[in-house]
Chain A
Amino acid sequence: MAGKKELTVVTYRGIFQEVEEALGMYSDGYRDQSALLELDGGDAKAMGLEDEKLILLETASGRVVVTAKVSEDPHPGIAFMPASPWSSQLLSGEVGEGGLMELKRFSATVTPTEGAVTSIEEIVERIRAA
């Protein structure tokens, strides 16, 4: 399996995710619109990744498995992820110099993987296990 890569992840909100959220956060539709990472084509190729393959995202705060989406537009070294319970698992909660808690941007190690997308039930269990 091809190697891992350190990427800057920036979160965003997508309209289809917003719709699925309104229709239930425990739904497959919400998971499908949230548990994903948009990768630069060159970065994906370097990792041996194709569209719809699974990737493991890791930070010091947590780890989740999501689906890779290969972007048409180039954005090397940067990946985009819908803001959701999946991205929240990777955030540190640290407050920056300007006094704002970082929610939009973090560095993560991205590795091709197999298995299944992390379920929202698993995320809830992790939160409650603290």
Chain B
Amino acid sequence: MAFCTGCSLLCDDIEVDFEGAKVKRTLNLCRKGRGHYDSLLVDRLAPAVDGSLVDIDEALSSAAEVLEGREKILLFGWGNSTLAAQKAGIELAKKLGSVIDDPSSYSQGLITEKVLKGELPTCTFDDVRNFADVSIFWGDDPSSSHPRHLSRFSYYPRGEKRQRGYEEDREAIVIDVRKSPTAQIAADGFFKISPGGDADFIEALMAALGGKIPKVEDKKRMLNLGTKLRKAKFGAIFTGLGLAHSLGGDLDAFFSLVGKLNELTRFSVIPTLGDYNTRGFNQTLFDEAGHVNSVSFKDGVDHGPEFGIAKYLDSCDAVMVVGSDPTAVLPAPLAKKLAGMPMVAVGTHRTLTTDGADVTVPIGVAGLEVGGTALRTDGVKVEFDAVVDSDYLPDVEVIERIMEAV
């Protein structure tokens, strides 16, 4: 069996036959996972300095030269890195006295940190499969982003206490601004809200849970939802980017709702995180520094939004990006700031970010070309081995060699 590191579900039941690095036959891969496997032969990153190809040793020494002597370095990315590389990255940040951050600083970091602090109830996907009778997908469309979420864990499967699966034992509720593929599966369980309407929806649901008449157009439907959630034996809430962004990062109303639900019954929260090991980075940095992102090791440990990439690009003097493509994701004004920085990019494939880097260092694809460990988005640790031969270095070796050279 092979693993898939195409998303943070880290599916562990993949059967695959390769001819070299070309996939000949697979079983259990989703469409996205197949793309991930097929990408072994597409647009691979090469070692380069200022756009000229070099050998890996020169790329590594040049990467160290970019970072040496800088006062305000940002180490960014890490969601597509193994746990060992993430730990090495944090050690590198300490050695350089630099800032380390990941995309959770502009996505679901607040929810993940609350989970890791034990202030937001959570559970594993295995608990969901075995016990959950209500699955809420909030601003979250796993049918597109994590395609086997519903089939392996949250809706379709039969579990220990849910032998009749989605037909009778499980209900899906989707709260979203768009009738997404997940919303189409939920059918009558789809609650369409207006953009930015999550706070009003939470207020109405809190009223319904408290037995009050909610101030919404369809009061009866909201009251029925409140009754359904009150009667749930084991509820799970899967959060997506849509929730955090609709609330503008002020998630207190959502946290209060989860608290209210847990006064009435049991509801757990699992953030649906994007990159395969986002949860791993958040956990590793939390264990080391007490925060999941935006940490400076300049003078001990310091944390705050000023150390998130959105703000720190204003003051940093060099960037190392590992396993991420912020140039493609960040708003144009920030992408332009990033493009003007001395930059090292470590990754598996050519991206907009690697194309703008002074030095590029290729690594192997985790779970396919190199082994390692990672945390699934529900926090369960998985270990995977390489399944194809490759000359690419593991990410941890690249980070350690840069650390030795600076």
B216 at the interface (CB under 8 A from A): no
Q: Across the interface, do A104 and B6 meet the contact criterion of CB distance under 8 Å?
A: no
B335 to chain A, nearest CB (A): 5
Does A91 count as interface, using CB distance less than 8 angstroms? yes
Tell me whether B329 and A88 are in contact (CB under 8 A).
yes
Question: Which residues from chain A contact B305 at a C-beta distance below 8 Å?
Answer: 95, 99
**Residue count of chain A within 8 Å CB distance of chain B:** 49
Shortest distance between the CB of B49 and any CB in chain A (Å): 17
* CB-contact partner of A92 in B177, B195, B246, B331, under 8 A: B331
In the bound complex, CA of A50 to CA of B402 (Å): 53
Q: Report the minimum CB–CB distance from B311 to chain A (whole Å).
A: 8
Per-residue B-contact encoding for A119-130, CB less than 8 Å = 1, 0 else: 010011011101
B332 contacts A126, C-beta separation under 8 Å: yes
Contacts of A22 in B (CB 8 A): 6, 32, 35-36, 38-39, 42
Within 8 A of A (CB), among B126-179: 141, 143-145, 147, 177-179
Select the residue from A25, A26, A83 with max chain B CB neighbours within 10 A: A25
Partner of B332, one of A14, A15, A88, A99: A88
A51 at the interface (CB under 8 A from B): no
Q: Is B387 an interface residue (CB 8 A)?
A: no
Q: Are A80 and B339 in contact (CB under 8 A)?
A: no
Residues of chain B within 8 A (CB-CB) of A104 are 241-242, 245-246
> Which residue in A19, A78, A126, A128 is a CB contact (below 8 Å) of B31?
A19
Residue of B6, B179, B339 touching A128 (CB-CB under 8 A):
B339
Which of B84-92, B116-124, B349-357 participates in binding chain A?
A: B349-357
Residues of A within 8 A of B39 (CB): 22-24
Contact B145 A13 (CB under 8 A): yes
Question: Can you list, as one digit per residue, whether each of B376-390 has a CB less than 8 Å from chain A (1) or not (0)?
Answer: 000000000000000
Please, which residues of chain B bring their CB within 8 A of the CB of A24? Answer: 39, 42-43, 349-350
Known: A12-B178, A22-B35, A127-B352. A98 touches B249 (CB 8 A): yes
A62 and B332: CB pair below 8 A?
yes
Chain B interfacial positions (CB closer than 8 Å to A): 6, 31-32, 34-36, 38-39, 42-43, 106-107, 141, 143-145, 147, 177-181, 194-196, 241-242, 244-251, 305, 310-311, 325, 327-337, 339-340, 349-352, 355-356
Could you list 25 examples of A-B contacts with CB < 8 Å? A10-B177, A15-B147, A18-B35, A21-B35, A22-B6, A22-B35, A22-B39, A23-B38, A24-B39, A24-B350, A25-B328, A25-B352, A78-B195, A85-B352, A88-B328, A88-B332, A89-B332, A93-B332, A98-B247, A98-B249, A100-B248, A103-B245, A103-B329, A105-B196, A120-B352
Binding site for B on A (CB under 8 A): 8, 10, 12-16, 18-26, 61-62, 73, 75, 78, 80, 83-85, 88-93, 95-105, 120, 123-124, 126-128, 130
